[in-house]
Amino acid sequence: MDLHKKAMWIFVGAILITMVILASVSVLFIRANYLNLESNYVRSDVNLVSKNIDSEIKNLKSNTPDWGAWEDTYAFVLGEKPDYVEVNLVNTTFRTLRASFIIITDKEGRIRYGEGYDLISDTPVPLRPDLVTELGKGRILTQTLGSGTEGVAGFISLPEGPVILSSYPVLHSDYTGPAQGMVIIGRQVDDAEIRLLTEGTVPVLSILPFDSSSTNPDDRALLAGTGDAAISVHPLDENAVEGKKILRDIYGSDTLLLSVQLPRDIYHEGNQTLFVFILLQFGIVIVLGITGMVILDRTVLARLTAIDSEITVINENRDQSARIKITGDDEISRLAGSMNTLLDEVEHSHVQLVAAYQSASQANRKLKLLSSITRHDITNQLTSLDGYLSILEKKQPDTKLGAYIQGAVTAEQRILAMIQFTKEYESIGVKEPAWQDCSILVDTAIKQAPQGNVRITNDLQAGAEILADPLIVKVFYNLIDNAVRYGGKITTIQFSPQESGNNFLIVCEDDGIGVPADEKERIFERGFGKNTGLGLFLAREILDITGITIKETGEPGKGARFEIIVPKGTYRFTTSGITIQA
């Protein structure tokens, strides 16, 4: 047998062996990767549903303190507010809170008020007997009264089906006791609630009772897992896959099982891809093998190998500025040139994507925060206004309606204040930061802010400029407004400049009662405070646009002291038309 035939038989044998190896490796690894991808996809959906559940629980928990820590509720439980239910617990309240039931008990666990509500038919219904029975055991009351000002929120597994509830002790509006009972707001986990929990996914969702002593070993293994290990995924058949996760109730017991079923689209797509991939491999091996016997030579192979090596290095190093070295003037060199052009476009696109992502992230954060701030507060005020106006309508033309009318007006004013805040917050970061004179900003804020008998001194030198959002004047306005409102027997407010290393400090201090040590950071949190709780939060957000920070460093009892810290590069001094950049 001559060398040509030997080479042919060796080549055919090599092709067959290569095809078998490639097919085996493809089946082994690609199918395993698709199964792993399917499991990750199911776990992702289970986690998404779990997050939706947590969001629903947090939503309930954020509303309950407004009803528990309220003087009207406190008085009602003590029997001193006979019109409490008529004024506050109207149908609008249930619709606004999306509550299936609201229960108010005294400290002995006796139900002072309890009403169910059908959110679909929009009508009141009696409380579920199994829920009343659970309340009679006293466990919820004991846990709620023992929670301080935290309250209790989560699932309860009941014979007629699970419910989500949040309970909070009945306290004074300043969150002091003694607690006189508890307020419970809850929702039934019915079909409507299931649809809400599966928003953004396409699973078949079930929340079932769980008993570790009678379930299968796979489900019992979930009790010991954490994170993704706490989610079990297993195929039901060729067309469906199931993910399961244990849910704990408010007592900390594993009583519910979350089950999410999905179609096995990824699995079937993987099988199809695997079949096509194997056929493609066979075709490529045969074509390349036959043509390689004719046209392959050392020069072509070496140059292609060199290009492949450079692409691998670029990929491994993630160096977007690296390019392929081009040699010669033929198809291979033009291929390398095209790849370099593609790399240029990829690098340019990456820069644009990073910039777009950062802009979109900031905009999305602002929109989410705006929605979070306004939704809860405006809803409560509208509920209060609805109650007062309902009374006004029933009592008309009685002339003794001044208190009710005043209550409605007060609620409307607070709503307007909150809406005004949202308008201001939407403006943050919309316009480009600009250089602004600190002294002029303080003078403008002094003219706008209420001062009473307080003397305000502006020692900031003219020409000291900072690079900040155009809404920066709101920062100084809020500092003055807060000092006048909450400073006690305050007589003076002073703005002055200081230097601290490479930073420029704008100091606002007064001679009022100061800020307690444990509240120095909390006063900048959204909702903390005696009024709307938004002023200092808004101030920090405005300053953060250009990297400026603010903190309170005063001594409690001797006055508040706020330091606005302007970093190097965002302040400068202008004198006689000459600008000195820091």
Per-residue pLDDT tens digits for 10-42: 767 888 888 888 888 877 888 888 888 888 888
- The answer to whether the bond into 263 is cis (omega within 30° of 0) is no
- pLDDT for residue 277 is more than 60: yes
> Considering 283, 315, 341, which residue would you say is the last residue of a domain?
283
- Whether residue 148 is found in the same domain as residue 129: yes
Cβ contact 433:467 at 8 Å? yes
Q: Distance between CA atoms of 327 and 336, rounded to whole angstroms? A: 9
Number of domains in the chain: 3
pLDDT tens digit string along 496-526? 998 888 899 999 999 999 999 888 888 888 8
Residue 534 belongs to some domain of the structure: yes
Q: What is the DSSP letter of 430?
A: T
Q: How far apart are CA 232 and CA 100, in angstroms?
A: 31
Query: Which of 283, 316, 342 represents a domain boundary (last residue)?
Result: 283
Question: What DSSP line would sit under 66-117, residue for residue?
Answer: HHHB-HHHHHHHTT--TTHHHHHSSHHHHHHHT-SEEEEEETTS-EEEEEEE
Cα gap 375→396, rounded to integer Å: 31
> Is the per-residue pLDDT at 132 higher than 90?
yes
Amino acid in position 563: E
The tokens 């609630």 sit on which residue?
A: 193
> For residue 346, is pLDDT > 80?
no
What pLDDT does residue 201 have? 58
Q: What is the CATH number of the domain that holds 157?
A: 3.30.450.220
Q: Which of 96-110, 270-284, 414-428 is the least confident region?
A: 414-428
* Whether 415 and 512 share a structural domain: no
Name the residue range of residue 438's domain: 434-581
Residue/partner pairs of 331-339 with CB below 8 Å, 24 or more apart: 332/300, 332/303, 332/304, 332/307, 335/307, 336/307, 339/307, 339/311
Query: Which tokens hold the place of 410?
Result: 């007060």
Query: Is the peptide bond between 178 and the residue preceding it cis, with omega within 30 degrees of 0?
Result: yes
Between helices 473-486 and 535-544, what is the axis angle to 10°? 150
- Is 58 contained in some domain? yes
User: Within 10 Å of residue 20's Cβ, how many Cβ atoms?
Assistant: 10
For the entire predicted model, the pTM comes to 0.45
Residue 104: what are its φ and ψ, rounded to 5°? Answer: -125, 125
311-344: per-residue pLDDT in tens?
A: 888 878 877 778 887 777 777 778 778 888 887 8
Please state, rounded to an integer, the average pLDDT across all residues of the chain: 81
Q: Is residue 32 part of a domain?
A: yes
Q: Are residues 456 and 541 in the same domain?
A: yes
Tokens of 355: 């910039």
Are 418 and 470 found together in one domain?
A: no
